[in-house]
Amino acid sequence: MVRRAMRELFEAMPPENPIEAVQRGARPALRRRFYERATAVPISGGYAVRLDDKPVRTPARRVLAAPTLALAEAIAAEWQAQKDVIDPAKMPLTRLANAIIDGVADAPLPVAEEIGKYLASDLLFYRASSPPGLVERQRRYWDPILDWARQALGADFKLGEGVVYVAQPQAALAAARVAIPLEPWRLGAVHVVTTLTGSALIALAMAGGALSADAAWQAAHVDEDWNMAQWGRDDMAIARREFRFAEFQAAATVLACSL
Domain 108-257 has CATH 1.10.4080.10: no
Over the stretch 101-136, which tens digit does the pLDDT of each residue have?
999 999 999 999 999 999 999 999 999 999 999 999
pLDDT at 15 over 60: no
Over the stretch 65-77, which tens digit does the pLDDT of each residue have?
999 999 999 999 9
Which string of DSSP letters, residue by residue, matches 227-251? HHHHH---HHHHHHHHHHHHHHHHH
pTM of the model: 0.88
Contact 183, 173 (CB under 8 A): no
Pick the CATH number of 2-104 from 3.40.50.300, 3.30.2180.10, 3.40.1440.10, 1.10.10.200: 3.30.2180.10
pLDDT average, residue stretch 198-212:
97
Nearest Cα neighbor of 58 from 131, 5, 22 is 5
pLDDT at 4 over 50: no
Structural domain spans, the chain: 2-104, 108-257
Contact 208, 152 (CB under 8 A): yes
Lowest mean pLDDT among 46-50, 87-91, 250-254: 87-91
pLDDT average, residue stretch 159-174:
95
